[in-house]
């Protein structure tokens, strides 16, 4: 068995669901990414513009690196819809995947018989992992921008281990298997897709509930429905996921007790009642910490403004006197909608 086959076998043994190998060099999608940032579609995510030179050439982040082992870890597209996107219900995937990629790196060192310079990347540096994944043969770019695998759909994380090691590359994935399908584009509640494979993040529910640090625009709040953190809609409607999405097998990614199978109203009320100490205890090691407590409370208020009832007014009223202006303003908006009887019929993922 060749070196590449052994590396892949060990990666699968570590729990990864897809593995491919590619040669490092100029990133094919770097120019399109730069145009996307320049168009303002990244919103407040200013960090995406940093490290542009390294992003344009994948040999630069790790001096001397020649190859990348690219992996995917499935996070369970067969899990039921809910107020929290599937990827964020368990432990932080950065920690889960980075630890395993480092294990793979150490194993490669032992097999080669010397230390190999390298570094693991999982959304943690100026690397276009999706670009590397396509070049490593894992899948194609769907019209919603996600990498789609013909084997497991798109409910998976991507990671890359850059190595100062010459490895035979797998053939890139050349086909576009979306065909004429536009279900992901038309299903988006906020019309966030400017064109196929071009997302205006400032209108995306995932961006609005996670990356947006200030107020959620009033005109978009109603379209968020019962989605409290992230959004899976464009993936849920994809025929490749309908047919090939996997059951969740990774225990670290299972929903923690703070989320469980709670409906949107219950989870929103519980989050509104959290203080800093209970928040840290409930969401330690969770991706949801990224939004911070103020962001989660803002989102919870919007959810109740969309799917709440008169019974939820006490929870909102208690927050209206919150010392955090942003949370207070969103709670007041929600309470006004409930009292005015303008809560719509949108029950998305409740």
Please state the rounded mean pLDDT for residues 210-223: 98
What mean pLDDT is predicted for residues 174-192? 98
Alpha helices, H only, the chain: 3-13, 30-38, 52-56, 93-112, 129-135, 183-187, 205-206, 218-221, 233-236, 239-244, 264-272, 276-283, 292-307, 313-320, 325-339
123 catalytic, yes or no?
A: yes
SS3 assignment, position 22: strand
What pLDDT is recorded for position 341?
A: 85
Give pLDDT, residue 229: 98
**How many whole angstroms separate alpha carbon 256 and alpha carbon 66?**
39
Beta bridge partners of 163: 67, 118
**pLDDT, the chain, mean:** 96
Query: Measured between alpha carbons, how far is 119 from 319 in angstroms, rounded to an integer?
Result: 44
162 sits in which H/E element: strand 156-163
Is 346 a residue whose pLDDT tops 60?
no
């542009």: which residue's tokens? 52
4, 168 in Cβ contact below 8 A? yes
Confidence grade of residue 345 (pLDDT, cut at 50, 70, 90) = very low
pLDDT > 90: what percent of the chain? 95
In this predicted structure, what is the pLDDT of residue 37?
97
Residue-wise pLDDT tens digits, 148-166? 999 999 999 999 999 999 9
H or E segment at 119? strand 118-121
Give dist(CA 196, CA 210) in Å, integer.
23
Question: How close are the terminal C-alpha atoms of the chain, in Å?
Answer: 50
Residues 248 and 262: their CA atoms lie apart, in Å, by 18
Rounded-to-integer distance, Cα 131 and Cα 133, Å: 5
What is the torsion angle, in degrees rounded to the nearest 10, for the CA atoms of residue 199, residue 212, residue 245 and residue 91?
150
Angle at 285 between CA 104 and CA 129, to 5 degrees: 45
Cα separation of 111 and 108, whole Å? 5
pTM of the model as a whole: 0.95
Give the tens place of pLDDT for each residue, 112-138: 999 999 999 999 899 999 999 999 999
Work out the number of other CB atoms within 10 angstroms of the CB of residue 281. Answer: 10
Residue 282 has what pLDDT? 96
Please state the φ and ψ torsions of residue 57, each to the nearest 5 degrees.
Answer: -140, 110
Q: Which of 57, 95, 123, 168 is catalytic?
A: 123
Confidence band, pLDDT 50/70/90 cuts, at residue 347: very low
Question: What CATH architecture does domain 256-345 belong to?
Answer: Alpha Horseshoe (1.25)
- Note the Cα 93 to chain centre separation in Å: 9
Is the confidence at residue 323, as pLDDT, over 80?
Answer: no
Mean pLDDT of 88-103: 98
Q: What is the per-residue pLDDT for 342?
A: 57
In the predicted model, is pLDDT for residue 142 greater than 60? Answer: yes
Non-local (6+) Cβ contacts of 195 within 8 A are: none
Residue 332: CB atoms within 10 A of its CB come to 16
How many CA atoms are closer than 13 Å to the CA of 62, on its beta-carbon side? 21
**Residue pLDDT, tens place only, 201-213:** 999 999 999 999 9
Residues whose CB falls within 8 Å of the CB of residue 39, separated by 6 or more in sequence, listed in order: none
Where are the domain boundaries for CATH 1.25.10 in the chain? 256-345
> Could you give the CA distance from residue 320 to residue 63 in angstroms, rounded to a whole number?
53
């Amino acid at each position: 068995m060749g070196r590449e086959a052994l590396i892949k076998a060990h990666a699968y043994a570590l729990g990864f669901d897809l593995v491919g190998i590619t040669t490092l060099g100029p990133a094919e999608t770097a120019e399109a990414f730069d145009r996307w940032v320049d168009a303002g579609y990244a919103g407040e995510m200013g960090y995406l513009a940093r490290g542009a030179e390294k992003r344009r050439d994948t040999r630069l982040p790790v001096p001397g690196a020649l190859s990348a082992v690219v992996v995917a870890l499935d996070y369970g597209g067969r899990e039921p819809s809910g107020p929290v996107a599937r990827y964020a219900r368990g432990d932080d995937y950065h920690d889960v995947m980075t630890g395993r990629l480092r294990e793979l790196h150490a194993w490669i060192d032992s097999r080669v018989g010397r230390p190999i310079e390298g570094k693991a990347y999982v959304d943690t540096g100026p690397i276009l992992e999706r670009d590397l994944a396509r070049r490593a043969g894992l899948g194609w770019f769907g019209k919603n921008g996600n990498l789609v695998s013909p084997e497991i759909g798109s409910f998976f994380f991507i990671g890359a281990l850059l190595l100062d090691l010459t490895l035979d590359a797998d053939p890139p994935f050349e086909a576009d298997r979306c065909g004429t399908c536009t279900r992901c584009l038309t299903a988006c509640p906020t019309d966030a897709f400017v064109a196929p494979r071009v997302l205006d993040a400032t209108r995306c529910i995932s961006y609005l509930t996670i990356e947006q640090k200030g107020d959620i625009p009033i005109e978009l709040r109603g379209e968020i429905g019962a989605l409290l953190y992230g959004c899976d809609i464009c993936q849920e409607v994809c025929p490749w996921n309908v047919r090939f999405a996997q059951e969740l097998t990774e225990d670290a990614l299972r929903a923690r007790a703070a989320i469980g199978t709670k409906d949107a109203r219950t989870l929103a009320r519980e989050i509104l009642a959290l203080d800093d100490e209970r928040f840290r205890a409930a969401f330690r090691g969770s991706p949801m910490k990224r939004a911070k407590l103020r962001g989660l409370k803002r989102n919870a208020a919007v959810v109740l403004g969309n799917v709440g009832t008169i019974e939820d007014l006490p929870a909102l009223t208690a927050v209206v006197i919150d010392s955090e202006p942003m949370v207070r303003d969103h709670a007041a908006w929600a309470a006004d909608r409930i009292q005015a009887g303008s809560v719509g019929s949108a029950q998305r993922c409740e």
